[in-house]
Chains A and B, each alone.
Chain A
Amino acid sequence: MKNFQIRSKIVNGVAVLYLKGHLDAHQVARFEKELIRLIKENNFNILVNGQDLNYITSAGMGIIMGYIDEVREKGGDIKLCSLSERVYETFDLVGFTEIYDFIENEQVAIEKFSHIPAKA
């Protein structure tokens, strides 16, 4: 079984990225590639669903940090949902929880995007 898996789908105009497994510096290029693809396709409402994510390092958090300003400049946002307590704590250790929107579940997160146009 792969250590890290990523897939995405559009739900009500929101690009949802599903992360699964162990996201470290070895795997991070796949996360970045998929995020870039979504942005290039003018998806600026992006939700990272970490329900099945059990580990993340600064490499993965850095990708979100590196692209969020571009996405927000275009009227969108990158939000995160459904994180385990342990993964949430890792985000909290670097202060992300004060800057990013962390939401309990996907449905509520998608509703939060509803006032933002889905595409440019």
Chain B
Amino acid sequence: MKNSAIFPQKPDFSITILSQTQLLKMVVELTRHITTLFNFSAAEAQKISLAIDEAVTNVIKHSYGNETDQHITIEYFLATWGIKIRIFYRGLPPDISDEEINVSKMIKKKRKGGLGVKLMKTIMDSVTYENVDGENCCEMIKWQKTI
């Protein structure tokens, strides 16, 4: 079944924030609240919130280069089967590699970044990036465990 048949066409809830890291905690709390309301366990809600935190952090740091006056829109689509979250932003498109992240190699290279995408992909059932009407869109889906 296509995602479009499962989730509503329009978001159940959306929020637009400025590209400021001080707002990340608010996004995390909001996501945790929404996912808990929709019957995800507290542990699952915490993980989904973390994935959204990582995605928005990547947008602020990499797509907007830490500029604080840009906009990020987060849309939540809710269904019995799960939750779909779409993050819209402009700025640089994501630099996504399918290469498996090797933490040992990253330690040797003294890298501090690159773990966020691994977290997103580990936590969520689907993470995709696309361009929608000139905007970058990161779409993440998490299915309910009972499905």
Binding site for B on A (CB under 8 A): 3, 22, 24-26, 55, 57-59, 61-63, 65-70, 86, 89-90, 93-96, 99
Q: Are B25 and A57 in contact (CB under 8 A)?
A: no
Total A-B Cβ pairs within 8 A: 80
Interface centre among A55, A57, A70, A95 (most CB of B within 10 A): A57
B116 & A57 in contact (Cβ 8 Å cutoff): yes
Contact A25/B112 with A68-B107, A86-B46 known, Cβ cut-off 8 Å: no
Complex contacts, A62 vs chain B, CB 8 Å: 111-115
User: Looking at the complex, which one of A66, A67, A68, A94 makes contact with B119 (CB distance below 8 Å)?
Assistant: A94
Q: How far is the CB of A78 from chain B (nearest CB, A)?
A: 11
Chain A residues positioned under 8 Å from B43 (CB to CB): 86, 89
A57 to B60, CA, bound (A): 15
Residues on A with beta carbons closer than 8 Å to the beta carbon of B113:
58, 62
Between A and B, 13 residue pairs with Cβ closer than 8 Å are: A22-B25, A24-B21, A24-B57, A25-B60, A57-B53, A58-B54, A58-B119, A65-B112, A69-B107, A69-B110, A99-B103, A99-B104, A99-B107
Q: A57-B116, A94-B115, A94-B118 are in contact. Are A65 and B54 (CB under 8 A)?
A: no
Bound-complex Cα distance A96 to B101 (A): 12
Shortest Cβ distance from residue A30 to the other chain B in the assembled complex, whole angstroms: 12
